Amino acid sequence: MKFIAYNVRDDEIPFVEKWGKDHHIEVTSTTTTLTTETINDADGFDGISCLQTIPYSQELFERFHELGIKYLSLRNVGVDNVDLQAAKANGVQITNVPAYSPESIAEFAVMMALYLSRKVGYMQQQLQERHEFHFSPDFMGRLISEQTVGIIGTGRIGRHAIQLFRGLGARVIAYDKYPLKSTNGEFEYVDDLKTIFEQSDIISLHMPATKENQHLFNHEVFEMMKDNAILINTARGAIVNTSDLIFALESGEIAGAGIDALENESADLQDSRSTKKITDSDVIKLSMMPNVILTPHSAFHTSESVKNMVTISMDNLKTMFNGARPNDLVE
Hey, which residues are catalytic here? 236, 265, 297
Using CB atoms within 10 A of its CB, is residue 176 exposed (0-12), middle (13-18) or buried (19+)? middle
CA distance 174 to 160: 13
In SS3 terms, 160-228 reads as HHHHHHHHCCCEEEEECCCCCCCCCCCCEECCCHHHHHHHCCEEEECCCCCCCCCCCECHHHHHHCCCC
Contact predicate 162/139, CB 8 Å? no
**Cα Rg, the chain, nearest whole Å:** 21
Distance CA 296, CA 119 (A): 21
